[in-house]
Amino acid sequence: MRHLYFLIALAPGLALAAAVSAPQGDLPLTAPVPGGIAIVCVGRAPGPAPQVVFDGQRVLVARVGDVWHAVVGLRLALRPGAHELSVLDGETSARTIRFEVGTRDYETQHLVLDPRQVEPSPRNLRRIAREQESLKRAFSTFSDAAPESLGFDLPSEGRVSSSFGLRRFLNNEPRQPHSGLDIAAPAGTPITAPAPAYVLETGDYFFNGRTVVLDHGQGMITMYNHLSQVDVAKGARVARGERIGAVGQTGRVTGPHLHWSVSLNNARVDPALFLSSDVRKQDAAGLRPAALGGAPAESAPVRCSE
Ligand SMILES: [Zn+2]
């Protein structure tokens, strides 16, 4: 009798762990452009979640109702046009699903910085290379556990000072486009986890300053830069709203702010696409996704013929 009791007690937990079963409102906004995300129907439940690969990286698959959706991060440098997902159902051979990526012209921003920061010394270049390797590893992480939530709270109070995707020039030299969202706030302002996660990495980096990287599951990784202090340790579990650090101006910055990056399948995408409907209701101009051209947030329905 005892064994039977344990089986019954375990069954609901197992079912819950199998997949994200998010209400429609919890899916991020669709913005199939570079720096945005494509949401592509890849199958029907109750069949098992298919495995999806894009650009050599595993892709997050979320269940909404009876539909499996691939939530595909599209990096800023991705070429517009037709792209393909590779989809694997169980042990059978892979099929491909095509989807279209449109164009988006992000705004241009000119910055003036101390030339010593723009042209790092050979010693600092070696340090930067090591740090980029370690961040690349972090962003390429794919843990099998599905995220508990695909909707984010704002990780800090403050004003959006630089939106995602800005095409940047430092002292008139073209540099990497802005890969996150900046929230300006006084040093010491608390930074909290926008959704449940594990602490994947912490460190003090040349460009990024004091940093926390969170793993939300299935390749959904978020990063917090320029902190005055880090309040969590690598490997710790953090709940939504739990403090992870404080706003500062460490690394390459002109003033205290939080640089917040969101990554899916190793592609940095517009964090504003993931803000929960409660945050979106505030409708502040800075919270409107740049990947949607700054228009009031609305998501196109996902067609599914699977
Ligand atoms: Zn930034």
- Helix/strand/coil for 284: coil
Tens digits of residue pLDDT in 103-112: 999 999 998 8
Distance CA 248, CA 97 (A): 44
Q: Calculate the CA 173 to chain-centre distance.
A: 27
CA 26–ligand 1 middle distance (angstroms): 25
Three-state DSSP class for residue 224 = strand
Identify the residue whose tokens are 């996902």.
302
pLDDT band at 12 (very low <50, low <70, confident <90, very high): very low
225 CA → ligand 1 middle, Å: 8
Structure tokens at 96: 């491909």
- Domains of the chain (ranges; CATH) run 108-290 (2.70.70.10)
In this predicted model, which residue has the larger pLDDT, 304 or 73?
A: 73
Report CA(21)–ligand 1 centroid distance (Å).
Answer: 32
Residue with tokens 């099998």: 144
| CA distances (Å), origin 87, targets 48, 56, 66, 218 | 12, 12, 18, 15
Rounded to the nearest angstrom, the distance between the alpha carbon of 265 and the centre of ligand 1 is 20
| 14-28 residue pLDDT tens | 333 334 545 555 789
Q: Could you tell me if 261 and 201 are in contact, meaning their C-beta atoms sit under 8 angstroms apart?
A: no
Specify whether the CB–CB gap between 178 and 206 falls below 8 A: no
What torsion do the CA atoms of 268, 112, 104, 147 make, to the nearest 10 degrees? 20
Global pTM reads 0.89
Q: Summarize pLDDT for 170-216 with one digit per residue, the tens.
A: 888 898 899 999 999 999 999 999 999 999 999 999 999 999 999 99
